[in-house]
Amino acid sequence: MKISDRQYAESLLLAVSSQSESEGRSSLDNFAIIMRENLDLNRLDAILAIFSKLWDKSQGELAVEFTGARAISTDVRSELEKYLQTRTGAKKIVLTEKVDTTILGGFVLRYEDRVLDASLKQNLVDLKNSMNK
């Protein structure tokens, strides 16, 4: 039976989450040996991407990407972090901000498997599509 990327990532999380640094290194070595024996080292990038998300979640962190037509103020950033903490239950919000003038106005918010597109560009596309129906 083939082990999925998610199963590998969950196993790695279980192996290292409650261990000291030296024990964790030993677990990582064992994990690499198992992957090599299963000829799965080529899947390491995908497994580590899943592991990173699982680790952040286990630590109460939420990675969020905010894309706006212009930079947001410190006050708006703080309010957004509070809103996301309340909505998701995350202890810490790791907010990455991008400026993309092509969205014209508004913002696009990405976290977990969610995308909230409140950009003017998307609203115009939606309006155009509804008028063409």
Residues 70 and 54 in one domain: no
Tens-digit pLDDT profile for residues 2-12? 889 999 999 99
Residues 54 and 70 in one domain: no
List the one residue out of 98, 70, 69, 66 whose CA is nearest residue 79: 66
Residues 65 and 118 in one domain: yes
Point out the domain boundary residue: 37, 58, 79. Answer: 58
CB 45 within 8 A of CB 56: no
CB 47 within 8 A of CB 9: yes
Tens-digit pLDDT profile for residues 64-116? 999 999 999 999 999 999 999 999 889 999 999 999 999 999 999 999 889 99
Q: How many domains does the chain have?
A: 2
Point out the domain boundary residue: 29, 58, 87. Answer: 58
Q: What would the DSSP string read from start to end of 58-84?
A: HTTEEEEEEEESSPPPHHHHHHHHHHH
Residues 91 and 105 in one domain: yes
Output the pTM of the full model.
0.68
Domain span holding position 78: 61-131
For residue 66, give the CATH number of its domain.
Answer: 3.40.30
Residues 82 and 122 in one domain: yes
